[in-house]
Amino acid sequence: MIAKTTAIGKFRRNFQVPTVLISGFIFLIVLLVPSVIHAQQVQNSKEAVIALTPLWKGERYPDGRPKVSDDLVKRLANISLEEAWGVLRNSGYNNQFEAGWQIINPSKPLAGRVLTTQYMPSRPDIDSMIKAKGKTENRKGSPNSWPIDMLQTNDVYVADGYGKIIDGTLIGDNLGNSIYAKSKTGVVFDGGIRDLEGLEEIEGFVGFVRGFDPSYIKDMMMTCINCAIRIGRATVLPGDLVLGKKEGVVFIPAHLAEKVIIQSEFISLRDQFGHQRLREGKYTPGQIDMQWTEDIKKDFLQWINDNPDKVPMSKKELDEYLKSRNW
């Protein structure tokens, strides 16, 4: 330990590296070296997941994933995908949307907390290590079923299958039934699925996939659960929220979930009010599209009082939002 300290000190004297960079370098070593020492890990540790998502300050699952409230997850399904995308964009998150999907049961929205899984082309030495590690952890069945065993209600199984469809079918209707039984949601797979007819028969199951093929999964290996993955042009972390609609899917960082949902709900309320008043001829399009006058704001607040069934957020949430914004 003394020798290591001396070496770092000498390195700092010779090259005058700022303390913050040295600290960051040591942190990375602490975070990454255990994986090297203990061989290939099937699942990111709780500590690693927390390190990936430090901006989340709320409740977490035992595996470390942020646990956004069930109330927000339920409300997520009712917001516009474009509105969610817009809030994220204005917050500096420009790479959270992906389109170009084949959708299973497209009439239903997909909303839930993300459990991530990464797949890669099969390589025997790594594949054998992963399966051996899974055996020591008492994991059952083939690796593509292991993430399913971890699913909780309102989770969504999101997998980076690197776009493989032929021999890249991550699930069929048997695993699909298991997924829905545990999560009550569905999947987002940058890869393929099989048994489409059987999956379509699962009431409530929604899937966003790259394609369909009758082949079985082959020459693929599952390399990580609860790690950072890429889905098309989006970067996805464990515990993100995912909203899937006909246009595509948007991934919402857990620490922004409340902001995205409440702001999107408010935009929807404004639009409903504005559309109604335009149909009634009370205001012109220019009045509604520009910054509202105090008279329009008062009319809007009265409209909210007269239509409580249209307000998805609590009165406290609405009041706090109005106080924090120049609307």
Q: Can you spell out the DSSP letters for 262-291? A: HHHHHHHHHHHHHHHHHHHTSS-HHHHHSP
* pLDDT tens digit sequence for 261-274: 999 999 999 999 99
134 occurs within a structural domain: yes
Q: Fill in the amino acid letter for 26.
A: I
Distance CA 321, CA 248 (A): 28
The pLDDT value given to residue 176: 98
90: tokens are: 């204005």
218 occurs within a structural domain: yes
233 occurs within a structural domain: yes
The pLDDT value given to residue 249: 98
Distance CA 12, CA 303 (A): 65
HSE toward the beta carbon, residue 33, CA cutoff 13 A: 6
272: domain range?
Answer: 258-324
Distance CA 121, CA 164 (A): 9
Same domain for 269 and 129 = no
Same domain for 263 and 219 = no
Q: Please report the sign of the dihedral spanned by the C-alpha atoms of residue 62, residue 66, residue 70, residue 74.
A: negative
Structural domain count, the chain: 2
Q: Please choose, from the candidates 82, 59, 78, 53, the residue with its C-alpha nearest in 3D space to the C-alpha of residue 226.
A: 53
The pLDDT value given to residue 29: 40
Same domain for 312 and 173 = no
Boundary-marking domain end, from 233, 253, 273: 253
- DSSP character for 293? P
CATH number where 158 lies? 3.50.30.40
32 occurs within a structural domain: no
28 occurs within a structural domain: no
Same domain for 242 and 125 = yes
- List residues bridging with 186 in a β-sheet: 206
109: tokens are: 């929205």
The pLDDT value given to residue 21: 45
Same domain for 163 and 245 = yes
Q: Please report the sign of the dihedral spanned by the C-alpha atoms of residue 245, residue 251, residue 254, residue 258.
A: negative
47 occurs within a structural domain: no
277: tokens are: 């008043």
The pLDDT value given to residue 25: 43
38 occurs within a structural domain: no
Distance CA 294, CA 286 (A): 15
- DSSP character for 154? T
Q: Please report the sign of the dihedral spanned by the C-alpha atoms of residue 32, residue 35, residue 36, residue 37.
A: positive
Same domain for 280 and 181 = no
* pLDDT tens digit sequence for 35-80: 433 445 799 999 999 999 999 999 999 999 999 999 999 999 999 9
Distance CA 43, CA 54 (A): 18
Same domain for 237 and 98 = yes
The pLDDT value given to residue 305: 95
> Alpha helix locations (H) across 38-69?
46-52
Boundary-marking domain end, from 253, 287, 313: 253
Residues of the chain with pLDDT under 50: 1-15, 17-39
The pLDDT value given to residue 326: 78
- Report yes or no: 148 and 157 within 8 Å, Cβ to Cβ: yes
- List residues bridging with 177 in a β-sheet: none
